[in-house]
Structure 1
């Protein structure tokens, strides 16, 4: 008991901060639509700086039209049957388009969690590792949608957790175990990236198997939006599986699994996992996925990526961080205790920008801070006002703390 999760401790230590955030109007926020992509809260207009729609494609008319056309074509939102049994031809059309975009076998899922729940038990069972059960190694900062599968994997095989990006520990495990699966993010949700060159080296040297969620970089990064991890591998082969969200920068719905062979892809249908339930990828999801795949083959997405990079570079010039220069859109500014993060977030919202106050269990205790996402659809004037608001909030917090200790 408590080997793979400890929700009792997480809630006991984290609930106080969540409730404080709610009392300050920073969580459970409900808005109406404003102008120019802004949101309205009780008459106050603000820009959402925690949206993962890094290129602003969640409002793109071609993607919205794709979802509407799909509903009109099929006459339903969902066929309410396992995709293994029956699915509209539109699903194959969308998956074919995604396969061409990513140059591998693409398999659409209702969410990234469903992607992890599909792949990780297959890895743990040995069906993707030549019939021999591997040790499944999770990075300590893996997203919850993956770590929640530890117990399921642990029922099949040995499950271990190593420190964040600890390639020395991972290599030792590769030396002492015949089959090793490494589970990590490509771009992490609180900033930072996986050490891709070390990971590829370990795979080439030891035959390391990989499951990588690259939700926060696909679409926003690399030609045609292939993301941070996919271009590093050439042909994926049978030892690398990448998942990603279509509901973030792609501006669509659901998730996608990228595999290197039709054999692996077929197992997703026939292994009786979540893809065998009557909750298949939705019809508007199929239409939006098809539309966004087409859009990512145009120069428009490349132009948006360029604008995103300009805004990231400007932010880094104003507020340097450990992640400065990595080209990815998530930034985290540490301020200390949860109370400080909540107060700073409240001040920034009053200036017209919403950033997340991040605290335990999302980050370690005493390491609370502000998480924000850069966006392509912001002018230099907006970016300047945003950075001004952050700097002022931090300065006010520092002055307050100095006054308390004076």
Structure 2
């Protein structure tokens, strides 16, 4: 029998599961994973009555609970009379998706194509970039940022079947520029806003785009709605406009408060958009955004056109500033709603369990979510979290840090 020897050039499930699953099992053993709870008055409540505030939720503006968003989902279902018209949109589609895409396109001043999720969008679009179908017919050298989200990095093997794929250090501008000098066409793949805090150097990358024709593919899911005019997000707000060399993918599930994803294009031809619709992996299957998700997204888009959005953004900034005043982290001072509190691998689950028992759920993060040896608690701020609740959480974290320092 011939032995199968994997190359593991772009992914290594065995390593990730061997190391990471031990942390997941420990988290589940101590009640920090696999939790089942109902939403009840801004808190979550388990069947045994234990109540807690969620500090690990990406709905930063709490729009997923907004009455207009919920009513929008219901109204769309009643208007179109179907939840999920299961046929590829390239063959037959309801007007719902077209209305949503037109609304989001006007909101963010771009071309928009919808998707069921940002992961589905990236899985379909990145191989088309690799084959040259989204880069002017030229197969680019594809550079994936070392820290780019798994929804993008998991596409490396498929892209490598189409073109050459490299991985660079986090936002290594010198490396990217060097590759631009050596190769006629280059595409850089990264997060516009990192899931562990921080932003892409959009202005610097734009200069490389102007000088070398660099293509850039961003996932800006974590900053959509919380920043920029009408919630356009970090990348779109930093750029004067999009052209055919920039693609932004952003989920509508996080601060936008709905479901699905928006793919933002600039200057793509009708023919190119048809290629996306017909050949971009699951984007061409029978699974577009369902009608309830479209209705919720349409309602959220209308909220983004009102002054309520800027009020929510300001309230979120106040919550972030309060946390920063009480717990120091490397991300302090940034407008990003995620803070990573460093905790030793051997203690991160213990601290997470103590916080949960006191009524605060903060998810421990560990390899492969973060690099080995850099475990911590990922704290996510939302507008609905009370100031006293934030103070209580910070007091416990600060107390733990003091005890750990005394023990050292």
Aligned to 1:378: 385
| Greater mean deviation of Cα atoms: 56-65 or 273-282 | 273-282
Given that 1:84 and 1:275 are in contact with CA atoms closer than 8 Å, whether structure 2 keeps it comes out as no
1:398: how far off? 4.5
The equivalences for 1:75-94 within 5 A come to: 75-94=81-100
Given that 2:125 and 2:280 are in contact with CA atoms closer than 8 Å, whether structure 1 keeps it comes out as no
Residue of structure 1 aligned with 2:310, choices 288, 298, 302: 302
Secondary structure of the residue aligned to 1:365 is coil
Q: Does the alignment pair 1:391 with 2:398?
A: yes
Residue of structure 2 aligned with 1:125, choices 118, 127, 131: 131
| Greater mean deviation of Cα atoms: 319-328 or 2-11 | 319-328
Distance 1:395 1:146 in 2: 39
The equivalences for 1:161-180 within 5 A come to: 161-180=167-186
1:99: how far off? 0.4
RMSD of aligned residue pairs (Cα, Å): 1.4
Residue of structure 2 aligned with 1:55, choices 52, 57, 61: 61
Structure 2: runs of 5+ lacking an equivalent: 1-6
TM-score by length of 2: 0.95
Aligned to 1:12: 18
The equivalences for 1:285-364 within 5 A come to: 285-337=293-345, 339-364=346-371
1:266: how far off? 3.1
Given that 1:56 and 1:377 are in contact with CA atoms closer than 8 Å, whether structure 2 keeps it comes out as yes
Given that 1:218 and 1:250 are in contact with CA atoms closer than 8 Å, whether structure 2 keeps it comes out as yes
Given that 2:246 and 2:266 are in contact with CA atoms closer than 8 Å, whether structure 1 keeps it comes out as yes
Q: Does the alignment pair 1:235 with 2:273?
A: no
Please give the per-residue CA displacement for 1:80-110, whole angstroms capped at 9, x wherever unaligned: 1111111111211111110011100111100
| Greater mean deviation of Cα atoms: 29-38 or 340-349 | 29-38
Aligned to 2:204: 198
Distance 2:328 2:274 in 1: 46
Aligned to 1:278: 286
Please give the per-residue CA displacement for 1:316-351, whole angstroms capped at 9, x wherever unaligned: 1111222112211111011121x3111111111122
1:275: how far off? 1.8
Q: Does the alignment pair 1:366 with 2:365?
A: no
Distance 2:97 2:80 in 1: 11
| Greater mean deviation of Cα atoms: 375-384 or 54-63 | 375-384
| Greater mean deviation of Cα atoms: 224-233 or 209-218 | 224-233
Please give the per-residue CA displacement for 1:179-217, whole angstroms capped at 9, x wherever unaligned: 010000011111122122221121121111011000000
Given that 1:348 and 1:393 are in contact with CA atoms closer than 8 Å, whether structure 2 keeps it comes out as no
Secondary structure of the residue aligned to 2:46 is strand
1:270: how far off? 3.0
Aligned to 2:3: none
Secondary structure of the residue aligned to 2:347 is helix
Distance 1:330 1:242 in 2: 21
Distance 2:292 2:209 in 1: 38
Aligned to 1:109: 115
Number of aligned pairs?
400
Distance 1:156 1:42 in 2: 53
Summarize the Cα distance change of 1:314–1:241 in structure 2 as closer, same or farther, 3 Å threshold: same
Distance 1:261 1:236 in 2: 7
Secondary structure of the residue aligned to 2:343 is strand
Distance 1:174 1:312 in 2: 38
1:235: how far off? 1.9
Structure 1: runs of 5+ lacking an equivalent: none
**Displaced runs of 4 or more, over 3 A:** 37-41, 393-399
Aligned to 1:141: 147
